[in-house]
Amino acid sequence: MDLIVKQVTKIIFPFIILYGFYIALHGHLTPGGGFAAGAIIGSAFALLVIAFDERDVEHKLTVHGLIDLKSVAGFFMILIIGKMGYSMRVVLIESQTLFNLWSGGFTMMMNLAGTFMVSSAIILMIYSLEKEAWKK
Q: Is 8 in the site for another protein (CB under 8 A)?
A: no
Could you please report the per-residue DSSP string of 18-40? HHHHHHHHTTTTSS--HHHHHHH
- What is the C-alpha separation between 129 and 132, in angstroms, rounded? 5
> Which one, of 110, 112, 92, 111, lies nearest residue 102 by Cα?
92
- Segment interacting with another protein, rule: CB under 8 A, options 5-13, 30-38, 52-60, 109-117: 30-38
Applying CB under 8 A, which of residues 1, 5, 12, 50 lies at the interface with another protein? 50
- Which residue of 24, 32, 110, 113 would you call a contact of another protein, by CB under 8 A? 32
Indicate which single residue of 23, 51, 108, 110 sits in contact with another protein (rule: CB under 8 A).
23
Q: Cβ atoms within 10 A of the Cβ of 31, count? A: 8
Among residues 42 and 113, whose Cβ is nearest to another protein? 42
Q: How far apart are CA 28 and CA 103, in angstroms?
A: 8
Q: Give residues in contact with another protein (CB under 8 A).
A: 23, 31-33, 35-36, 39-40, 42-43, 46-47, 49-50, 122, 126, 129-130, 133
